[in-house]
Amino acid sequence: MKTWDYNQLEKSIAANKSRVEKILLTNKPQERLVRRRPRDKEEQEILDRLCLNKWKDAENKGEIKYLSKNEWCYEY
């Protein structure tokens, strides 16, 4: 069974960290991908229902605190 030398592993990671970070940053897309097509009506209705159900569940669990008429805090 192979044993791990964690000090050696730590040194190896530290030695390659800057190179790996540069590679990741150069391959990263410059901006967030934009949705190319609008959602169809059925998809939007489903997403709206999911969102409302999640909100109502959070209200029932007491995760939403209403601070005033226009302010609330969602603690999850």
DSSP string, 30-67: SSPPPP-SPPPHHHHHHHHHHHHHHHHHHHHHT-EEE-
Is it the case that residue 28 has pLDDT exceeding 90? Answer: no
**Confidence band for 24, pLDDT divided at 50, 70 and 90:** confident
**DSSP character at residue 68:** S
Report pTM. Answer: 0.49
For the stretch 50-65, pLDDT in tens is 999 999 999 999 898 8
CB 39 within 8 A of CB 47: yes
